[in-house]
Amino acid sequence: MISNIINYGGMFVLAVIITRMLGVDALGEFTYIFAVSTILAVVSELGLSQLLVRKINAERTFIYSLVRNVNTFKIFISIGCVLLTSIIFYIFPGLNLNLTLIIGIAVIIPKTIQATFDSSIRALQKQATPSILKSLNSLLQMIFAYFILVNTGSLLNIFIMIIIMETLTMIMFYIINKILWNSSGIIFSDSIPYSYSYIEPVITESLPFFGSSFLALSIPRIIVIILGYMTNAFSLGIFSAASRFANGVGLFSGALYNTFYPAMTNPETPAGEKYALARKFTLYAFIAGLVISLAIYFFAEILIDLTFRIREAVPVLKLLGFVVIPVLTHSILQSYLFSLKFEKFIAYFYIILWIFNLISCLILVKFYGYWGAAISAFTFEYIVMITLFILFIRQKKYGSEIS
C-alpha cells in the first residue's frame, strides 16, 4: 500500500512540476506518451505476470526455468511492440513520431521484466520486497526529474532518465529474486534453455488474464489517446489534471489486488472463507470510496489550486472523483473471481465493454471534448463494478463455487 502511494505520488508530483514549469500542453504530451506506453506494457505482458503467481505456487521446483523463459519471450514481444508502434506513428497522418515518444514507450522493456520478478517474489509471500524497490525507484526518479526540468526543461531528458532508472531497478529485482529463492531452499539456476514449446502452454493459459487486463487497463488509456488525437494537448492536460486525483486514490486498488490475490489463490484457504473475506473487503472498499469521493467533490477547487492551477479542471474533477468508488470496489471483486478461474468470462465481458466504450468515447469527445472523455471514463467504471458485483453475488446464491 505504502509503495503504491509513493509510486503514484512521485508521478503525480512530476506531473504537477511539468505543468508549473512547462505548461498545460506539456502535461498533455506527457500524459499521452504514458497512455501509449501503458497499453504496450499490457500487450508485452500478455497476462503472464498475473498467471505466474498461481503457476509458481503450483510448480516451485521449475521456478528458474519458468522465469527465464517468460522473460525471454517478453523481451521479444516488448521490442516488437516498440518497433511496430514507431512505424504506425511514422506512417499515419496526425500521429507525431519523435524521439521523446520512442524513448517513452521503450520504458516497457525493463518494466515488463521487472513484473516477472515481482510476481516471482510475491509467490513467496514477500510483498514488502518489491514494494521497497519500486518506492526507492519512484523517489529517485522524482528527485532527478526536478533537477532535469530546472536545468534543461526537456521532456526528452525526463524519459531518458526514467528508462535508465527502470533498467537499474530491473537488475536489482533479478539479484534480490535470486537471493530470496536460493534462501528458500530452491536453487535459482540450471534452467531449461529458452524454448517456445516449453512456454507455449503457459502463454495459452495466460491469455484470458491478458484479455481482461488489456481491456480493463486500455479503456482509460484509449480515452486519453482519443482525446489527444481528436482535440489538442491543452484539452488533454485539463482532463489529465482532473483524472490524476481519482487515479491517485484508485492506486489503493492496485495495493488491494496485489495483497488480496495471492491469498485468494492459496489452495489452503477454504472456499467459504475466501467468499467471506471478499465480501468484507468489498464493503470496506465501497465505504472508503464513498467517503473519498465526497471529499474530492467538496474540496475540488482547493485541490486544483494547490497543484495544477488549471481552473477548467475543477468541474471535471468533481465528476471523476466519484470514479473512486468503483475502482476500489471492483479490484477486490476481480481478484476473487480470478481465484475462481472466471478470467475467461471477465475477458469476454471486457471485449463487449471495450467496443461500447470506444464507440461512445469517439462520439462524446467529438461533441464535448474533455467533458466527453470524463463522461466516458465515469460510465465505464460503474458498468464494470455493477457487473462484477452481480457475478460475485451469484456465487453465494447458487453455491457453485462455495463448498
Q: What is the pLDDT of residues 2-24, one digit of tens each?
A: 666 677 777 888 899 999 989 99
pLDDT surpasses 50 at 301? yes
* pLDDT at residue number 14: 87
Kindly state the percentage of the chain with pLDDT values over 70: 87
pLDDT surpasses 90 at 70? no
* pLDDT at residue number 403: 37
**Tens digits of per-residue pLDDT, 190-202?**
556 666 677 788 8
Split at pLDDT 50, 70, 90, the class of 265 is: low
pLDDT surpasses 80 at 216? no
What sign does the dihedral 120-37-363-358 (CA atoms) show? negative
Residues 113 and 76: their CA atoms lie apart, in Å, by 11
What sign does the dihedral 191-194-196-199 (CA atoms) show? positive
List the single range of 237-246, 306-315, 338-347 with lowest mean pLDDT. Answer: 338-347
CB-based burial, 371-391: b 16+ in 10 Å, e otherwise:
bbbbbbbbbbbebbbebbbeb
pLDDT surpasses 80 at 176? yes
The grid coordinates listed for 114 are 521487472
* pLDDT at residue number 260: 61
* pLDDT at residue number 328: 86
**Tens digits of per-residue pLDDT, 108-125?**
999 999 988 888 887 777
CB 401 within 8 A of CB 391: no
The grid coordinates listed for 107 are 520504458
**Tens digits of per-residue pLDDT, 274-285?**
788 888 888 888
User: Cβ-count burial of 69 within 10 angstroms (0-12 exposed, 13-18 middle, 19+ buried)?
Assistant: buried
* pLDDT at residue number 330: 83
Split at pLDDT 50, 70, 90, the class of 49 is: confident
pLDDT surpasses 50 at 399? no
Split at pLDDT 50, 70, 90, the class of 208 is: confident
pLDDT surpasses 60 at 400? no
List the single range of 98-107, 217-226, 318-327 with lowest mean pLDDT. Answer: 217-226
CB 176 within 8 A of CB 121: yes
Residues 276 and 39: their CA atoms lie apart, in Å, by 34
CB 195 within 8 A of CB 331: no
| pLDDT, averaged across the chain | 84
Higher-confidence residue: 348 or 213? 348
| DSSP-assigned letters across all residues of 322-341 | GGHHHHHHHHHHHHHHHHTT
- As a whole number, mean pLDDT of residues 134-154 equals 89
**Tens digits of per-residue pLDDT, 316-346?**
999 999 999 998 888 788 878 877 778 778 8
CB 257 within 8 A of CB 334: yes
* pLDDT at residue number 345: 83
